[in-house]
Amino acid sequence: MTEESPKDELDKRIADAKAAHQRGISDAEGRAEGRGWAIGIEFVGAVLVSAFIGWMIDRFAGTAPWGLIIMLILGFAAGVRSALKASGQFDADPDNDEKD
């Protein structure tokens, strides 16, 4: 058994405190409720923005209702893509203990 010098002990305590600090942040950010919100907002946001763009295209190009219909469908695809991206980020989080 080697005797730990005071400096080694201090280094270890600093490392532990840093690790605890990191864990605290990702815990707070990754609460289940927050994740659900994040994914929902990503999906709804993409659909609404796309629908708005389609509506504007219709207004200025006079192509109603096709711009809105096509952009709404593309917006669904974009929303699913964003939601998958967001949930992929949560799965990649090493502190995520709800993953099976």
Residue ranges binding another protein (CB under 8 A): 25, 28-29, 34, 37-38, 41-42, 44-46, 48-50, 53, 71, 74-75, 77-79, 81-82, 85
Q: In the complex, what is the shortest distance from the CB of residue 74 to another protein, in angstroms, rounded to a whole number?
A: 6
Q: In the complex, what is the shortest distance from the CB of residue 75 to another protein, in angstroms, rounded to a whole number?
A: 6
DSSP letter string, 58-82: HHHH--TTHHHHHHHHHHHHHHHHH
Which residue, 8 or 52, is less far from another protein as judged by CB? 52
Please name the residue ranges forming H helices in 2-95.
6-29, 32-61, 66-92
Nearest in space to 50 (alpha carbons), one of 70, 80, 75:
75
Which residue, 49 or 69, is less far from another protein as judged by CB? 49
Measure the CA angle with vertex 28, ends 24 and 85; round to 5°: 115
Which residue, 17 or 77, is less far from another protein as judged by CB? 77
Q: In the complex, what is the shortest distance from the CB of residue 60 to another protein, in angstroms, rounded to a whole number?
A: 17
Instruction: Give SS3 for 1.
Output: coil
